[in-house]
């Protein structure tokens, strides 16, 4: 990648982050009346729902703390992170220490789900805030939450099963991948060896159970020991999810002094997923595919969602940086160009999240139960900082 | 509607049912090895999943018994209905009398859900079969299942709540609408006054709680006494679902000697839902809309699904028959033409179920957890029989 291209891209990601993405959310999201954030927004920031999705609550908190830690110690960002922490502490937790999936505007619990994702996103929010504010209490809360997650995850029977026990045991790729990413954040503030242990175990699980060499994919659901299930859920591939995992693994390789074997395995997942997920008809990444070529039954299977494109833009840039292979620079350009042609909202800023297969906008929502300021600003931040590293050579 | 048009349409629906829809399923669905039906099929009948969705199991059983009762007493249809009953009896029920949502090919339970829809579809399958086979045991099972449904539905706390109790009570239009339709089937085989009572209560609930005169829609979710909730789920409208309910109400009006007030109320729902649901850009009925015009957050909100079109084709024909109003004949033609231009699979027969907003095919699946032979053949059968009634004048 030539220096001019590097500089141009830094400008795109940096100004996109600081002058577009972040201002959209700082302008519309803080709820100064009831605390926390209103993130369920239409294109222009209109509040579509005052309910507060707690995945988003943890992630937006993480984001502001992360900006403070990585970009510059702006008091506004620290205050917003603190604003998020306050709401999480006050309204996020059930009596058993687990968290709610959604609450009303004033913090009354609406739903609690069997999955542990609200907890993982709150854990990274608390950890990143602890680092920013040097807040020992937040650090301890984050570590305790991580231990609770592991207790629920590893103790048979603690999480209510989704299916009838005994008939079909399946595990989901989402869990080791999120434990990997969560541990990577938490070990910044805690030197407990548990994080490296969980990372090792997660890598083992992803690389040996979910990676399927027969079909050259990373599967979303497998049996307890990686058994292939020849049913729609067992054949399901989410290329964007696999690509996100690939760069979590690359980051781990970087953390280990550019571990070549980890880079190789991560790039293999990336290569497969790009090849399998790219839509040769309309461009962009398809959301779900079946590894044997059957139709995936989810309504959204052939939609183009913003976040797989965010993950793929960063993953290809990082792969290019780590391997020097020009094919990743080409993929990065291809993904970047398709995404920037289709997702940004030219009128109100930020990105649309949900496009039809042909790239036309399906939903004008900027936020909902899952979308908020996370994948897009994280990509912009990570790409910007990586490109600076590439520019300066360290 | 002129006699030639009536004759032409009879031919379309009758031959569609008998020479296309039914042969697709009789050819591909019966599982002679493990019993029941394999209904999770791709366009050409390829089995995509051997798991057995129990909504579909009850509905396909109902269909074959219904054909036997209404079209002609073909031994093949009775045998297939019996084949379905055998599987439901053997593998459909949990120890508590409730039913499973899905089972493996050989009948081991996979999932049980909090909703009572599997039970309602099995109840109509059992009732229609009881009528066809004059099977007293099936009749009793059907009646008992209905009582169990009512016990779970009306006893607070018997069904596990979806949300955190106390914060937000919501009820769903699906429940009174399905109780209305289920009761209409069961009272054919049982003279217990409970069915008419449940129908009265369901009509009251739909017409007074779910019908919203401010927005001129039938809402999917309201508070316990019909309170409007100004959140995405409270503003949600499923025009096809509302239209289906409108013809259930019209059928009730017919049952009561063409009750003019019921016809008026049903047609009001139909009018509103057609106006609100019709996609003026691409034609066809949108799947979900927000009554205040915000984006509905479901991925599939702007897709075109087969079943709302099936329901609307029959509802408009029936409304035309009951009112003589030419606007319903026009709507019927518009809906019929759009649907027949976009949904049928010209190569392998039957209909695709899932189109993008622009009418292009999103999924080639002929069956999945919800789609099977139900809405399409029921529409073809109902339209055919109604047109014959219109032709002969009784």
Mutate to test the interface with B, among A43, A304, A362 (most CBs of B within 10 A): A362
Q: What is the pLDDT of residue A108?
A: 98
Give CA–CA dist B100/B110, Å, rounded.
7
pLDDT tens readout for residues A171-197: 999 999 999 999 999 999 999 999 999
From B255's Cα to the closest Cα of chain A, the distance in A is 37
pLDDT at B327: 98
SS3 string, A275-335, reads HHHECCCCCCECCCEECCCCCCCCCCCCCEEHHHHHHHHHHHHHHHHHHCCHHHHHHHHHH
Residue ranges of B 164-223 with Cβ closer than 8 A to chain A: 164, 167-168
- Residue B167 to residue A48, Cβ atoms within 8 A: no
**Closest in B110, B167, B365 to A104, CB measured:** B167
Q: pLDDT band at A370, cuts 50/70/90? A: very high
Taking one residue from A and the other from B, the number of pairs with CB-CB distance under 8 angstroms is 97
* Cα separation, B144 vs A231, whole angstroms: 34
CA distances for A251 relative to A9, A77, A374, B309, angstroms: 21, 25, 18, 50
Which of B50, B164, B364 is nearest residue A295 as measured by Cβ atoms? B364
Whether residue B18 has pLDDT greater than 70: yes
Q: What is the pLDDT of residues A307-324, one digit of tens each?
A: 999 999 999 999 999 999
Partner-chain residue, chosen from B100, B231, B357, that has the shortest CB–CB distance to A51:
B231
pLDDT in tens, A58-95: 999 999 999 999 999 999 999 999 999 999 999 999 99
How far is A109 from chain B, CA to nearest CA, in Å? 6
The answer to whether residue A157 scores a pLDDT higher than 90 is: no
What angle separates helix B117-133 from helix B75-91, to the nearest 10 degrees? 140
Predicted TM-score of the model (pTM) = 0.97
> pLDDT band at B161, cuts 50/70/90?
confident
Confidence tier at A160 by pLDDT (50, 70, 90): confident
Q: Is the pLDDT of residue B162 over 70?
A: yes
DSSP A198: H
- % of chain B with per-residue pLDDT over 90: 96
Check: CB of residue B263 under 8 Å from CB of residue B314.
no
A275 CB near a chain B CB, below 8 Å? Answer: no
The C-alpha angle with vertex B326 and arms to B325 and B331, in degrees rounded to 5, equals 110
CB contact under 8 A, A295 and B232: no
Query: Are A58 and A124 within 8 A, CB to CB?
Result: yes
d(CA B293, CA B276): 10
Residue A394 has what pLDDT? Answer: 61
Q: Which pLDDT value is given to residue B255?
A: 98
How confident is the model over B133-157, as pLDDT tens digits?
999 999 999 999 999 999 999 998 8
Task: Summarize the confidence of residues A298-304 as an average pLDDT.
Answer: 98
Using a CB-CB distance cutoff of 8 angstroms, which residues of chain B are in contact with residue A40? Answer: 232, 297
Mean of the per-residue pLDDT values of chain B = 97
- Tell if the CB–CB gap between B110 and A49 is shorter than 8 Å: no
Which residues 334-363 of A have a C-beta within 8 angstroms of B? Answer: 354, 356-358, 362-363
The pLDDT assigned to B172 comes to: 97
Report A:215-234 residues touching B (Cβ under 8 A): 231-232
- pLDDT-derived band at B289 (thresholds 50, 70, 90) equals very high
Q: Are A6 and A388 in contact (CB under 8 A)?
A: no
Contact call for A300 and B300, based on CB within 8 A: yes
B394 has pLDDT over 80: no
**What pLDDT, on a 0 to 100 scale, did the predictor assign at position B160?**
83
Chain A residues touching residue B301 (CB < 8 angstroms): 362-363
Model confidence pLDDT, tens digit, residues B296-327: 999 999 999 999 999 999 999 999 999 999 99
Q: d(Cα A116, Cα B16) in Å, to the nearest integer? A: 49
Nearest to A111 among B112, B164, B357 (CB): B164
- Average pLDDT for B210-218: 98
pLDDT, position A161: 82
Write out pLDDT tens, residues A185-236: 999 999 999 999 999 999 999 999 999 999 999 999 999 999 999 999 999 9
DSSP summary character for residue B357: T
Q: For the residues A136-152, what does the mean pLDDT come to?
A: 98
Rounded average pLDDT over B176-202? 98
Residue of A nearest to B231 (CA): A49
* Closest alpha carbon within chain B to A162: B111
Phi-psi region of B37 (alpha: psi -120 to 50; beta: other; left: phi over 0): beta
* pLDDT band at residue A1 using 50, 70 and 90 as cut-offs: confident
In the prediction, which pLDDT does B300 show? 98
Q: Residue B58 — pLDDT band, cuts 50, 70, 90?
A: very high
Judge whether B295 is closer than 8 Å to chain A, CB to CB.
yes
Nearest to A167 among B108, B168, B356 (CB): B108
> Which pLDDT score, from 0 to 100, does residue B298 have?
98
- The token duo for B333 is 């033609």
Measured CA to CA, the distance from residue B82 to residue B79 in angstroms comes to 5
Decide if pLDDT at A306 tops 70: yes
Which residue in the set A162, A167, A294 is minimally distant from B104, CB to CB? A167
């Amino acid at each position: 990648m030539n220096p001019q291209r590097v500089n141009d891209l830094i400008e795109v990601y940096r100004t996109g982050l600081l002058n577009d993405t972040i201002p959209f959310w700082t302008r519309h999201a803080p709820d100064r009346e009831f605390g926390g954030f209103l993130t369920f927004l239409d294109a222009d920031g209109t509040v579509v729902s005052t309910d507060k999705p707690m995945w988003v609550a943890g992630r937006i908190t993480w984001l502001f703390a992360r900006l403070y830690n990585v970009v510059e110690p702006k008091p506004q960002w620290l205050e917003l992170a603190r604003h998020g922490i306050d709401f999480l502490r006050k309204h996020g937790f059930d009596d058993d220490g687990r968290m709610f999936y959604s609450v009303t505007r004033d913090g009354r619990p609406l739903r609690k789900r069997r999955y542990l994702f609200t907890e993982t996103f709150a854990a990274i929010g608390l950890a990143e805030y602890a680092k920013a504010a040097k807040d020992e209490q937040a650090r301890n809360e984050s570590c305790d939450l991580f231990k609770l997650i592991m207790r629920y995850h590893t103790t048979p029977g603690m999480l209510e099963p989704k299916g009838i026990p005994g008939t079909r045991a399946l595990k989901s790729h989402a869990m080791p991948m999120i434990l990997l990413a969560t541990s990577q954040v938490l070990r910044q503030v805690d030197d407990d060896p548990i994080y490296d242990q969980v990372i090792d175990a997660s890598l083992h699980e992803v690389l040996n159970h979910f990676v399927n060499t027969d079909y050259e994919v990373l599967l979303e659901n497998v049996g307890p020991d990686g058994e292939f299930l020849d049913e729609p859920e067992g054949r399901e591939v989410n290329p964007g999810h696999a690509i996100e995992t690939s760069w979590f693994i690359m980051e781990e390789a970087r953390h280990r002094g550019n571990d070549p074997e980890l880079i190789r395995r991560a790039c293999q997942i990336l290569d497969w997923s790009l090849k399998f997920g790219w839509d040769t008809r309309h461009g962009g990444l398809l959301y779900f595919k079946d590894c044997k070529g059957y139709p995936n039954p989810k309504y959204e299977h052939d939609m183009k969602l913003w976040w797989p494109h965010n993950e793929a833009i960063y993953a290809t840039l990082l792969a290019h940086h780590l391997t020097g292979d020009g094919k990743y620079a080409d993929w990065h350009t291809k993904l970047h160009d398709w995404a920037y042609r289709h997702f940004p909202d030219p009128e109100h800023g930020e990105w649309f999240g949900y496009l039809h297969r042909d790239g036309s906008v399906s939903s004008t929502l900027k936020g909902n139960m899952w979308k908020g300021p996370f994948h897009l600003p994280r990509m912009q931040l990570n790409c910007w900082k990586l490109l600076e590293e590439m520019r300066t050579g360290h």
